[in-house]
Structure 1
C-alpha cells in the first residue's frame, strides 16, 4: 500500500466512523432465557402450541417466608397473610397460591362447602389444622417445608411478562418484603433470574472493557516503549471495537451473556494482527530498508495473510451459526463481523500512521532480533535432529487425548453461567432441597380416542400410573394433573381425609363426576382443555443437570411404551427445562458440525495457496491438535460439554488456524523467491515463528482476562481458549514443518509450476 492509497483508506475510516457516530443506538443489555432454545426444533414448536393452550411453565416466583420458631405461629401467619394480600394487588401479579388462604372443598348432602386449611383464630384450631396439614402429603413439602420452618408463596406473574415489567415487579416485591420483619426469605424464578443476569452482564461488560484497555496498553508499552507505539495501536483497536459494537446495535442486536466477551476478544485479535505487520516493518528497517519501502513491502507481503487469518478467525466464530441456539448463533455472527471490522480498522488507519509518524525507537531492536534468531535457530535445529521422536510424541499424545475427549460427558444446568457462591444460585438450591425443586416439569396428555375425554376413568387409571412413576423417577414436588381434581373431589366426599386423596373406585367415580369440573373451575386449575381431550401434568424437580435429565427422559419413554396403553392416553414430555436440557445435548453436535464446515473452508483456502489438496490436509492436521488436547484437559478436570464449553472449540479453531495461515503464506513467499523447502522452512521459522510466539502471548494474555469473570461462560472461554492457543503454537512450530518435509518434491513442483505460470 503506497502513501496515496493510505490517505484514501484513512478517508474511508473517517466516513465509516462518522456514519456509526450518527447512527449510534446506545448500549442495551438483555438476558432472555429462551435464547438458549434450539430453533427450528419440532419440540420447541410443540411447546409454543402447548403454552398457548395452557400457560407458560415458568411464569412464577417461588417465595419462601422463614420463621425460626416454626410457621405454625398465629403472629407469623397473620403477617404472612397480610404480605400475601399486598402481593396480589401488585401490577403484573395474576395470583398467589399459599397455605395461608388455601380452602379445601367438603361435599355434604347440602352441596359443596369450603373450609380454610389453616385456622389460627385460636390456639386449639391452629394446633388441630397444623397437625392435619403436617400429616397431609398434599401440602407438606409442597406449600411448606417438612421441618415447618418456612412456607411457600407461589406468585403467579403475568404470562410472558416483559423483562422491564418483570424487573419492576420483583423490585416492588422486595420493597414490600423490607417492611416486614420476617426471619428470612428465599426467592427463585424467572423475573428474579433475568434481572440478576442483566446486572451481572453490565458489571461484566465494564470489567472486560476495563481489563482489555489496561491489558492492551500494558502489552503495547512492553513491546514498543514509545508513546505512539502505545497510542496508535490503541486508537486503531478501539475504532474497530466501536465499529463492531455500533453494527451490532444498529442491526437490532443486544449485549447478552455471550456478547459481553467481544471487547477483549476483538482487542487481542486486532493486536495480534497488528504485531505481524509492525514486526515485519521493524525487521525491514533493521535490514536497512528505507522507511517508505519497508511500509510498502510490509503491507504487500502481509496483506493477503492478515486478510486470510481474519477470514479464518471470522469463520471460526461464524461456525457457531450452525448451533441453531440464538444466543450462540448471533454471538458467532456478530463477533465474526467484528473480526472483519478490526481488519478494516487495521488496514485503513495503520498505513497512514506509519507513513506520517517516525519509526519506533531502534535502540534495542537489533539486540532483540539477534536474540530471537539465536533462540529460533536452536529450536529449529533441535526439531530436525529429533524429528522422529517429536513426530511420534505428537501422534501418540493426540490419539490418547482423542480417546479421553470421547469420554467427556454432555451435562449442563439451568443456571450454569452463575458463580457457585452467587446468592441467586443458593436460593434455587434452597428450593431444590426443601421443596423438591424449582425447575418446571411439564408433560402433555391427550386422550387417544378423539371422541373420548381426559377424564374418562380408564384414562385416569393410566394417568395414575404415570404420576406414580414420575414422582419416583424425578423425585418431583407435588404433581398437578386432571387426576388432581378427581382426587380432590374424592377427598372432599370423605370429609377432607388425606387418605382419600386418591383415585376412587369406578363406581364411586361415576357418582362424583358432576362435582369435578365445578371444583376444578373454583380452584382455578388449568389442567385440561374445554373439550377435555387434552390435559397437562405439571410439577417441579431439582436441577440435577441435563445428563441425569436425559436418563430420566429415557426411563420415562421406556415406561410409557411398556406400561401406558397408547389406545387410551398419549404422553409427551415438554416444557422449558426439557428444551434447555435438549439444547445442552444438541449444541455439542452442532458446534462440531459447524467446525467441519470451517475446516472445509480453511482447507480450500490453503489448497488455493499451494494448489494441492495434500498440502491442505497436512496443514489442517496440526489444527486438530489444540481441539483434541483441550478435550482431554476437559476430561481430566471434570469439565463437561454444554452450552458454555462447546463454543470454545469454534473460537479456538478460528484463532489457532491463524498461525498455520501465517506460516504457510510466509513459506510460500520464501519459496517463490527460489528457495527450496528446507531453506524456506528455516527462514519461515525465524521470521514468522517470532510473530507467532508474540501473537500467542498477546492472545493468551487477552483471553486470560476472561478468567476474572464471575460468569461461567467467559471463565471457561478464557481458560480453555488460552490452553488451545498454547497447544496450537506448539503444533505449528514443531509438528507442521515435520509434516511438510516428506512432501518436499510435491510442494516444490507446485511452486515451480506457479513460478513458470507467473
Structure 2
C-alpha cells in the first residue's frame, strides 16, 4: 500500500480532491441555539412542546431598559422621546407586542360602564405629578427598583428564525440610534444569539489561525528540518480543510462547540505524524535507504496509529449516545473529522516524503549519550513499590475531593463575568426581578370547573405568594393577574385593590372577565378555562439553587395546595436547561461506559487477552480521577460542558497506551524477556509519547484564552489530563505489567 507508485497515486487523488474543494467551496453557516442543550427523548421536553402549542414560547422577547442620561426619568421630554421609541418599535414587522409603562392603561369600572385611563400621563405637569405618585405597583416590573430606568418588554414573532432575529435586532438598535438614546441594558434571545455568533465567528478564525502558528512552532522545535515542518503543515491544513468541507456539505452548521474543532483536528493529526516522523528519522539515522525507510515506517505503524485515531474518534462519537443534541452533534462531527484527518495523513504524507528530497544532517547522526528516559526507567524500577502507592494515594484523594463537587450551571456561564451580555442580564436581575423565564403550568383539578373558580383562585394566590417568597419580586402573570386587574378596576383603579378579591367581588366580575379574556396578552389561560400558566422572571441563580427552589415550591404545593382544585407542574426553557445540567452525571456515565467498552474490545482484539485490556484501562482511568481533584482545587463545578470532557480526555489519552502496548507486543514477539522488552519500548516509544503529549498540551492549552466557558475549560482540563496520562502511561503502566512477567513471556514465547 505504501510503495512509491501507490503513494504517488494517493497524492494525486488528494490533490484533485483539494482542488475540487477550492472550486466548489462550501459556505459555512454559524448557528447558536441554546435549546440544543435540552435533554431530548424526555417527557418534560414533550410536555413543553405541547405547552408552547397551547400558549407560546417563554423566551421570544427582548428586554430593554431606557434611562434618562440628562435628568429625571419621569420628565415630560424624556417620556415623549421614549414613547416615540416605543411606537417605532411597535411598527417593526416582526414585533408582536410592546409593553411598557408608557402605553399601559388602567381599566376603571363605574356606573356608566368600563373606561380606561393612562397609568402614566405626562400631557401636562399636573397630570404627570398625579399619575407618577401611584407607580410603586410597577416597581421591579416596568420601572427599575432604583427608579432610574423604565422597561420596554418587546415580544417578537414566535419561533423567529436566526436571520429574521438578527434583522429585527438591527432594526431595533437603529430606532434607538435615530432617537439618540442608548439603552441602559438589553437582554433577550435575538440579542444573545446574534452576539454569541459574532463572538463565535471571531474566535473560530482566531483559534484556527492560532492553531496553525502553534503547529508551525512545534514542528520547528521538534524536527528542526525544513521537510519536517513543511510536509506536516501541508498535511494538517489539507486534513482540516477536508474535515470541515465534509461537515459543511453534510449540512452541519458551525456552533459554539465547533470553535474547538480546528485545534482538535490539528493536534490529533500532528500526534499521528510525530509517531511516523520520529521513527522515520531514526531509520534514516541508521543509514537506511530513504524509500525503504518510508515504506517500512508506514507499514509498521499504520495499524497502531489507526487504532489510536479510532479510539480518539470513538471517544468523541460516544457522546452521540447522550440525550443532549448539542453534545450529540459535537460528538459525531468531531469523531468523523478525526477519521478524515487520519486519511489525509496516510494519503498525503507518504507521497510528499517520496517526492521531496529528505535527509538527516550529519550532526544528527553522532552517537547519543544515554537518554533521560533510560535514567527514568531505571529509577522507576528501583522505586516501583513507592510509585504504586503514590499513584494509589493521589487517586483516592482526588476521588474523595471530586465526590464533593456540585452540579451547577448558568444560562450564560459560557461567557466571562465581565462580558457586556452578562452585565446586561445582571442589571435586569437586580433592577427588574430577573431575566430568566419561569414557567409553571396550571390545570384545574377534578373538583373544579375552571381556573377562574373562586376556590381555585385562592390556591393560585398561595402559589404566587410562595413564588415571590422564593424567587424575588419579579413580575408574575397568571389567570389571577386578570382577576386582580378587574378587582382594581371595580375599585376606581386604587392600587391597593390589586389583590385577591372576596367571594362576592369575584361573583360580580363575571361579565368583565369575558372581555378581559379576549384582550389578555400574553395568553395565560386556555379557551376552556381548565389550563393556564404562571409566567414570571427570576435571576439566573444557577441550576443548583434553582433546583432547590423548585423542589421547595413542589413541597409547598404538595402540603398546602388542594390537588383536587389545582394541579401545578414546572416547564419552560430555563427548567429544561437546568434539567440538562442536572442529568450531567448520567450523561457522563453513559459516554464513558461506551468509550470504556469500545477501547476494551479494541485492546482485547489487539492483544487477545481480556486481562491485558483491563490493565490498559487502568492508566487511562487515573487521569479522569485526577481531573476531578483538579476541578475541586480550581473551584470548577460540574455542568454539561465540563462533564463531556471526561469522555473526550479518555478517548485521547488512551492513544499513548495503545502505542506503548503495540510496541511492547512487537518486542516480545522477537523473543525478548519482559523487562528488556519494556526497556526498549520505553526508550523507543517514550520519546514519541512525550512529544505527542507536548503537542496535545500546547494545542489544547491555546483554548484557555477563549472567552467561551466551554472552550476555556476544555483547554484547561484536557491539557492537564494529557500530562496526567503521560505520567500514568510511562510511570505506572510498566509497573502494572511486571507482575505478569510469566504470563507475558509464555504468551509471546517463540516456537
Normalized against structure 2, the TM-score is what? 0.97
Q: Which residue of structure 1 lines up, in the alignment, with residue 163 of structure 2?
A: 164
Q: Which residue of structure 1 lines up, in the alignment, with residue 77 of structure 2?
A: 75
Instruction: Say whether residues 1:104 and 2:106 are aligned partners.
Output: yes
Q: CA deviation at 1:365?
A: 2.8
**Conserved in 2, the CA contact under 8 Å of 1:319 and 1:591?**
no
Q: 1:717 aligns with which of 710, 714, 719?
A: 714
Q: Output one character per residue of 1:250-275: Cα deviation in whole Å (capped at 9) or x when no partner.
A: 11101111012111111111001100
Instruction: Say whether residues 1:498 and 2:495 are aligned partners.
Output: yes
Q: Which residue of structure 2 lines up, in the alignment, with residue 631 of structure 1?
A: 628
- More divergent stretch after superposition (78-87 vs 61-70): 61-70
Q: CA deviation at 1:183?
A: 6.5
**Conserved in 2, the CA contact under 8 Å of 1:67 and 1:183?**
no
Q: Which residue of structure 1 lines up, in the alignment, with residue 456 of structure 2?
A: 459
**1:30-429 pair list within 5 angstroms:** 30-68=31-69, 69-134=71-136, 136=137, 139-182=138-181, 184-366=183-365, 370-371=368-369, 373-429=370-426
Q: Which runs of 4+ in 1 moved over 3 A?
A: 14-24, 181-184
Q: Which residue of structure 2 lines up, in the alignment, with residue 587 of structure 1?
A: 584
Instruction: Say whether residues 1:672 and 2:679 are aligned partners.
Output: no
**Conserved in 2, the CA contact under 8 Å of 1:615 and 1:747?**
no
Rounded Cα–Cα distance in structure 2 between residues aligned with 1:104 and 1:333: 55
Q: CA deviation at 1:592?
A: 2.4
Structure 1 residues 203 and 183, CA, compared in 2 at 3 Å: closer, same or farther?
A: closer
Q: CA deviation at 1:587?
A: 3.2
- More divergent stretch after superposition (318-327 vs 141-150): 318-327
Q: CA deviation at 1:644?
A: 2.2
| Secondary structure of 1:431's aligned partner | helix
Q: Output one character per residue of 1:125-155: Cα deviation in whole Å (capped at 9) or x when no partner.
A: 2112111112x2xx11100012211000001
Q: CA deviation at 1:10?
A: 2.3
| Secondary structure of 1:258's aligned partner | helix
Structure 1 residues 531 and 330, CA, compared in 2 at 3 Å: closer, same or farther?
A: same
Give me the CA root mean square deviation: 1.5
Q: Which residue of structure 2 lines up, in the alignment, with residue 563 of structure 1?
A: 560
| Secondary structure of 1:573's aligned partner | strand
Rounded Cα–Cα distance in structure 1 between residues aligned with 2:382 and 2:438: 62
Q: Which residue of structure 2 lines up, in the alignment, with residue 538 of structure 1?
A: 535
Rounded Cα–Cα distance in structure 1 between residues aligned with 2:156 and 2:86: 13
Query: What are the ranges of 5 or more consecutive residues in structure 2 without an aligned counterpart?
Result: none
**Conserved in 2, the CA contact under 8 Å of 1:447 and 1:569?**
yes
**Conserved in 2, the CA contact under 8 Å of 1:323 and 1:587?**
no
Q: CA deviation at 1:451?
A: 7.2
Structure 1 residues 365 and 102, CA, compared in 2 at 3 Å: closer, same or farther?
A: same
Q: CA deviation at 1:112?
A: 1.0
Rounded Cα–Cα distance in structure 2 between residues aligned with 1:450 and 1:238: 69
| Secondary structure of 1:465's aligned partner | helix
Structure 1 residues 257 and 360, CA, compared in 2 at 3 Å: closer, same or farther?
A: farther
| Secondary structure of 2:509's aligned partner | helix
Q: Which residue of structure 1 lines up, in the alignment, with residue 649 of structure 2?
A: 652
Q: CA deviation at 1:687?
A: 0.4
Q: CA deviation at 1:210?
A: 0.7
Rounded Cα–Cα distance in structure 2 between residues aligned with 1:202 and 1:449: 53
Q: CA deviation at 1:444?
A: 0.5
| Secondary structure of 2:354's aligned partner | helix
| Secondary structure of 1:65's aligned partner | strand
Rounded Cα–Cα distance in structure 1 between residues aligned with 2:181 and 2:208: 40
**Conserved in 1, the CA contact under 8 Å of 2:441 and 2:533?**
yes
- More divergent stretch after superposition (187-196 vs 116-125): 116-125
Q: Which residue of structure 2 lines up, in the alignment, with residue 695 of structure 1?
A: 692
- More divergent stretch after superposition (497-506 vs 199-208): 497-506
Rounded Cα–Cα distance in structure 1 between residues aligned with 2:140 and 2:247: 47
Q: CA deviation at 1:639?
A: 0.4
**Conserved in 2, the CA contact under 8 Å of 1:387 and 1:738?**
yes
Q: CA deviation at 1:15?
A: 4.8
- More divergent stretch after superposition (24-33 vs 50-59): 24-33
| Secondary structure of 1:223's aligned partner | helix
Rounded Cα–Cα distance in structure 1 between residues aligned with 2:191 and 2:338: 35
Q: Output one character per residue of 1:228-264: Cα deviation in whole Å (capped at 9) or x when no partner.
A: 2222111111111111101111111011110121111
Q: CA deviation at 1:558?
A: 1.2
**Conserved in 2, the CA contact under 8 Å of 1:431 and 1:438?**
yes
Q: CA deviation at 1:527?
A: 0.8
Rounded Cα–Cα distance in structure 2 between residues aligned with 1:3 and 1:726: 38
Rounded Cα–Cα distance in structure 1 between residues aligned with 2:363 and 2:543: 56
Normalized against structure 1, the TM-score is what? 0.97
**Conserved in 1, the CA contact under 8 Å of 2:407 and 2:584?**
no
**Conserved in 2, the CA contact under 8 Å of 1:612 and 1:750?**
no
Rounded Cα–Cα distance in structure 2 between residues aligned with 1:487 and 1:262: 54
Q: Which residue of structure 1 lines up, in the alignment, with residue 7 of structure 2?
A: 6
Q: Output one character per residue of 1:387-417: Cα deviation in whole Å (capped at 9) or x when no partner.
A: 0000000011001101111111111111111
**Conserved in 2, the CA contact under 8 Å of 1:662 and 1:688?**
yes
Rounded Cα–Cα distance in structure 2 between residues aligned with 1:106 and 1:433: 32
Rounded Cα–Cα distance in structure 2 between residues aligned with 1:704 and 1:597: 27
Q: CA deviation at 1:449?
A: 2.7
Q: CA deviation at 1:7?
A: 2.7
**Conserved in 2, the CA contact under 8 Å of 1:476 and 1:539?**
no
Structure 1 residues 525 and 719, CA, compared in 2 at 3 Å: closer, same or farther?
A: closer
Query: What are the ranges of 5 or more consecutive residues in structure 1 without an aligned counterpart?
Result: none
**Conserved in 1, the CA contact under 8 Å of 2:231 and 2:353?**
no
